[in-house]
Amino acid sequence: MSTIPAVAHANFCAGSHLDLECGASQTRIMAHSYIRLDFGTDEEKAQEARHKLDGWRQAFRLDKKMQYKLDRPENAAAAASPASAVAEPAESTEKPKAKVAGKPKGKASPASSEPSAKKPAASNGKVALLVRLYFSSHEKLSEQRWLDRIPSEEPFKSASPKVVRHNDPEFESTDKQFEALE
């Protein structure tokens, strides 16, 4: 059926008919930006900001494009040990009561004692929120709109927002910090 000889057909399929060399890939690395928000010791504002970001992520379907992590630099290691030390004695004192009172109260009392033990420890230290915007190159306008919108909204305004772009000198340290956070 085909009038092309087998050797010519093999060369044609191998791509030897092109007169230009293969260039670099057309896809670029997606440059991302960070917004660093320092809430000081105001845990309520940080949680309000986190809740607002969650709402935006869900409403605008920004699961991979907008990520955030809470950073508690000073009390990350110190708060974990006192909170667990305070919670353990509370549980040991509640266990005999739980056995006498029944399962529902036993489950509720340790859960209620843990947040009260952790809340003062968390409110004593600094709280920061690190937001990563990760838009592709054809979504530059969307990225710019989010970079303008987030710092101008209420819970973020008071947190002294700082935008760190891909070409800023502190970008590497911010990127490593974001990846190190849980």
Is residue 175 located within the same domain as residue 97? Answer: no
Confidence (pTM): 0.60
pLDDT, tens digit, 9 for 90 and up, residues 43-56: 999 999 999 999 99
Range of the domain at 109: 75-123
Is residue 48 located within the same domain as residue 113? Answer: no
Residue 180 placed within a domain: yes
Is residue 33 located within the same domain as residue 50? Answer: yes
Chain mean position to CA 135: 14
Residue 16 placed within a domain: no
Is residue 132 located within the same domain as residue 182? Answer: yes
Residue 17 placed within a domain: no
The count of other CB atoms within 10 Å of the CB of residue 39 is: 23
**pLDDT the model gives residue 15:** 55
**pLDDT the model gives residue 125:** 83
pLDDT, tens digit, 9 for 90 and up, residues 108-167: 444 333 333 334 444 468 999 999 999 998 999 999 999 999 999 999 999 999 999 999
